[in-house]
């Protein structure tokens, strides 16, 4: 073990790749390398070339290693956290058959609906896999591929999730973890294994899938000579199984068996995501009952349209993000890419309540309000699935942990405070997914529990800004909810 051991946590997201170089003893982030990821597609299609993810990882690691100022020999482990659900199809040589279908590709909505009606319907699915199929999940995307591109499906010799693909490039081993696997809808959170009936339903041979490691911090292999040469690292260092981005964020926050279990998290990124950690497996068709990567569970709900949608509205209006004002009579439902919670894959945005006196700033504020109400409604579903009543004062007054890019935006923070009426805890760490992945890498190198590692790091370096609760804006909350409820089966679809 070098005098200063360093681990690398990789966050391979929809838009970019980050490689955080973290002091394994203290949790201090020494450097973060970044590189962009390209997304293509229109009319519901969202695709990326997995080879570009690998190139971005190489660039991010090279930049981070240079900024870190330490020799490559100081690095003892690496782990990848990746965007969930994406379908990566590889040929017999391990090369992509076609671009990966991303989680926010909604073309597979008809296939998801057909799957959801099988196996006893929604309750049957939640009893098996913890989730009802929607367009995002990998099972629906594989079925879409078989129906629309049968030749590509026939050429497929291996099926991977995005983080699996990168882990295999690092270690030469086909491995995944329970957390990311639970987002496929062919892995059972009830049994902890692939569900053979689901695989038969979607016509997928289990031999095409990676082995499921016990957890994201498990050491699944060592960095190969070829990967080490590409990355400028030393061959033989520990490679962890890794996990999905949300599961890694939970680890970075210290959520799990070795940490806290009762703090709901609201993540404001390209998508808006809410989740909490629990030892009890939730069973609700309204949410995704994912596995966490450490043996606990991660009930989660996701909205497709969050910061990216609001930024699009700001760009259309020619405004900067923080010039927004309260929407007043306006309601803007920013479903620019369809929606996942509620399950409206073909939805479009909706603006109502315009007056001659309406300002551009109010339209932008209404976009913030629409996105925030959507995420907070999803939070209520997560709480109910976890056996909690959102209206119970002891529940409604609990602090929210606010993370993601939006947590750095003044108007995002103000809008969440105003519409939730809750106190907010905003961790100072900005790269929590990469930090969680770094904890997985440290666990793979040392054999420690990754959540315990992250909790120890927080005790040494973690700083959090606390925002007290303000009186809830129930008028805006009710107005937006009223429009949303009326439109679910109307012009929004």
Burial of 356 (0-12, 13-18, 19+ CB in 10 A): exposed
Whether 223 contacts 171, CB under 8 Å:
yes
| Cα–Cα distance, 143 to 124 (Å, whole number) | 19
> Cα–Cα–Cα angle for 343, 347, 348, nearest 5°?
145
Selected catalytic residue, list 245, 294, 380, 431: 245
Task: Tell me which residue of 14, 15, 18, 3 sits closest to 429, measured CA to CA.
Answer: 18
Q: Which helix (H) or strand (E) holds 161?
A: none
77 beta partners? 7, 238
Mind giving me the DSSP string for 331-366? EEE--BTBBTTTTBTT---EEE---TT--HHHHHHH
Which residue has tokens 């905003």?
426
Q: Residue 387 has what DSSP assignment?
A: T
DSSP-based three-state secondary structure for 266: strand
> What is the rounded (10 degree) CA torsion for 176, 181, 184, 188?
130
DSSP-based three-state secondary structure for 61: helix
Backbone angles phi, psi at 342, to 5 degrees: -70, 160
Whether 217 contacts 440, CB under 8 Å:
yes
Whether 432 contacts 253, CB under 8 Å:
yes
245 is annotated as an active-site residue: yes
Task: Tell me which residue of 322, 376, 330 sits closest to 483, measured CA to CA.
Answer: 330
Active-site residues, by number, are 245
């Amino acid at each position: 073990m070098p005098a200063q051991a360093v681990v690398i946590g990789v966050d391979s997201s929809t838009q970019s790749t980050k490689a955080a170089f973290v002091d394994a003893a203290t949790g201090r982030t020494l450097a973060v390398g970044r590189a962009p990821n390209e997304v293509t597609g229109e009319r519901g299609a969202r695709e990326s070339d997995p080879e570009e993810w690998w190139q971005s990882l190489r660039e991010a690691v090279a930049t981070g290693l240079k900024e870190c100022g330490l020799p490559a020999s100081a690095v003892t482990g690496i782990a990848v956290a990746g965007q969930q659900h994406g379908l990566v199809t590889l040929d017999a040589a391990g090369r992509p058959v076609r671009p990966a279908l991303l989680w926010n590709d909604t073309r597979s909505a008809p296939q998801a609906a057909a799957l959801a009606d099988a196996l006893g319907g929604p309750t049957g699915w939640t009893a098996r896999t913890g989730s009802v199929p929607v367009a995002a999940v990998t099972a629906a995307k594989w079925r879409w591929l078989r129906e629309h591109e049968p030749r590509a499906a026939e050429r497929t010799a291996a099926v991977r999730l995005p983080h699996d693909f990168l882990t295999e490039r690092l270690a030469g081993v086909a491995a995944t973890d329970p957390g990311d696997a639970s987002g496929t809808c062919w892995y059972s959170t009830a049994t902890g294994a692939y569900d053979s009936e689901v695989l038969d339903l979607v016509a997928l041979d289990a031999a095409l899938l990676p082995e499921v490691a016990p957890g994201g911090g498990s050491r699944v292999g060592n960095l190969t000579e070829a990967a080490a040469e590409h990355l400028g690292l030393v061959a033989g260092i520990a490679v962890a199984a890794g996990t999905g981005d949300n599961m890694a964020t939970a680890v970075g926050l210290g959520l799990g068996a070795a940490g806290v279990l009762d703090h709901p998290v609201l993540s404001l990124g390209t998508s808006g995501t809410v989740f909490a950690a629990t030892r009890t497996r939730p069973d609700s068709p309204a949410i995704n009952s994912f596995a966490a990567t450490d043996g606990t569970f991660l009930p989660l709900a996701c909205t497709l349209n969050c910061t990216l949608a609001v930024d699009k509205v700001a760009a259309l209006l020619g405004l900067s993000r923080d010039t927004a004002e309260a929407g007043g009579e306006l309601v803007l439902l920013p479903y620019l890419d369809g929606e996942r919670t509620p399950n409206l894959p073909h939805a479009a945005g909706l603006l109502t309540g315009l007056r001659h006196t309406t300002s551009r700033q109010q339209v932008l504020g209404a976009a913030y309000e629409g996105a925030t109400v959507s995420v907070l409604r999803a939070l209520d579903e997560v709480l109910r699935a976890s056996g909690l009543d959102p209206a119970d004062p002891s529940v409604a007054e609990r602090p929210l942990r606010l993370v993601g890019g939006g947590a750095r935006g003044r108007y995002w923070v103000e809008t969440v405070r105003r519409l939730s009426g809750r106190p907010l805890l905003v961790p100072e760490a900005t790269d929590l997914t990469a930090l969680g992945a770094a904890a997985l890498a440290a666990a793979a190198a040392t054999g420690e529990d990754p959540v315990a590692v992250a909790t120890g790091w927080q005790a040494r370096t973690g700083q959090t800004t606390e925002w007290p609760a303000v009186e809830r804006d129930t008028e805006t909350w009710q107005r937006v909810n009223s429009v949303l409820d009326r439109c679910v089966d109307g012009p929004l679809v």
